[in-house]
Amino acid sequence: MQAPKLRFVQILLSFVLLASGLGTAQPTPWNQLKFPPLPAVNPQQPTRIQLGNGMVIFLQPDHELPLISVTARIRSGSISEPASKTGLVGLYGDVWRTGGTKSKTGDQMDDFLEARAAKIETGDGSDSTTISLNCLKGDFDPIFEMYLDLLRN
């Protein structure tokens, strides 16, 4: 019975000592804090490429990680839908990706992408609809084919 009491007293004494040590330190006022200067940020300008069909591509290479990210933005969103079909673009944005394509179901696409830690997502907004891709550089070719298949079919 004596040992649990002694342990309790030791723990209580530790908390008292800790609390007394914390109470003596005075925090520095926010306006007197000193920070080192931030490193300079020099963003690289993207390369603008316009295709013959009018599509514009902005290419922004970043070689820090072996990842590839692609986003296609289509200038049409919920602002363009007729009043009698309100919500159609939102529904389209939800089922565009999950519905799959002519060659693969949405579940087959999910399995393929999950096995490669990749993703293809679609979204909708008031002024545009998007489809994006994120994957490792080594997996880009088959995933980009799936991305194009989703755009076309």
Q: Are 45 and 111 in contact (CB under 8 A)?
A: no
> Which pLDDT score, from 0 to 100, does residue 21 have?
57
> Which pLDDT score, from 0 to 100, does residue 62 have?
85
Question: Cα–Cα distances in Å, from 141 out to 31, 49, 75, 147?
Answer: 53, 21, 26, 10
Q: Are 138 and 126 in contact (CB under 8 A)?
A: no
Q: What is the pLDDT along the chain (153 residues), one digit of tens a residue?
A: 566 677 777 787 777 666 665 556 678 898 999 999 999 988 889 999 999 998 899 999 888 889 999 999 988 888 888 889 888 888 888 888 888 888 999 999 999 999 999 999 998 888 888 999 999 999 999 999 999 999 888
Q: Are 137 and 68 in contact (CB under 8 A)?
A: yes
> Which pLDDT score, from 0 to 100, does residue 90 have?
84
Is the pTM here over 0.75, yes or no?
A: no
> Which pLDDT score, from 0 to 100, does residue 24 have?
60
Q: Pick from 105, 114, 118: which is nearest to 149 by CA?
A: 105
